[in-house]
Structure 1
Amino acid sequence: MESLGKLIRLLRKERKMSQEQLAKQFGMSRATISGIENNTLSEIGLRKVEAILNGFGFELTAVPRQSTRPTLDTLKKVNFHG
């Protein structure tokens, strides 16, 4: 979530909006916007983050992480012994 908070701050500042203005636009408190941007909220609803990103013309998506360790399928394809 830390990178989302940084992105939201960047987008807000690019549009010369205050945290208060952004909060008002989405029916949230300024403290909530601050918490999202600074990654200090213990829990944040994805709907809130999604609403803000959608408002800036972005879409929230999930992508698989790249594993630091190879999978069995990857190891089979490499063919270490051949």
Structure 2
Amino acid sequence: MEAIGNTIKNLRKEKGLSQAELASQLGMSRSTISSIENNTIAEIGIRKVEAILNLLGHTLAAVPMRRRPTLDDLKVSNLHDQ
């Protein structure tokens, strides 16, 4: 969850918005935005995250997690020869 808070903070700053301005546009409190950005909020709904990202011109997406390579993957890539 920390990554999403950092992402929101960076996007907000890129748009030149203060936490209060962003919160006002979303109908949220400034303290909620601050808690999200600083990863101190106990729970955050997916709809809030989506609303924030949409306002900042981004979208929420699910992507596959990277998996660690297996021994067979490493053998095929010949990492030991590099």
Q: What interval of TM-score do these two structures reach, taking the shorter chain for normalisation?
A: 0.7 to 0.9
Q: State the shift of 1:55 in Å.
A: 1.0
One-letter amino acid of the counterpart of residue 28, structure 1: M
Corresponding pairs, count: 74
> How far apart are the structure 2 equivalents of 1:12 and 1:37?
10
Q: Does 1:54 align with 2:54?
A: yes
TM-score by length of 2: 0.78
> How far apart are the structure 1 equivalents of 2:45 and 2:51?
10
Q: Which runs of 4+ in 1 moved over 2 A?
A: 67-70
RMSD: 1.8
Gaps of 5+ in 2: 77-82
One-letter amino acid of the counterpart of residue 56, structure 2: F
TM-score by length of 1: 0.78
> How far apart are the structure 2 equivalents of 1:56 and 1:15?
7
Percent sequence identity over matched residues?
58
Cα deviations by residue, 1:18-61 (Å, 9 ceiling, x for unpaired): 11110010010111100110111110011011011011111101
> How far apart are the structure 1 equivalents of 2:67 and 2:41?
27
One-letter amino acid of the counterpart of residue 48, structure 2: K
Which residue in 2 is equivalent to 1:65? 65
Which residue in 1 is equivalent to 2:18? 18
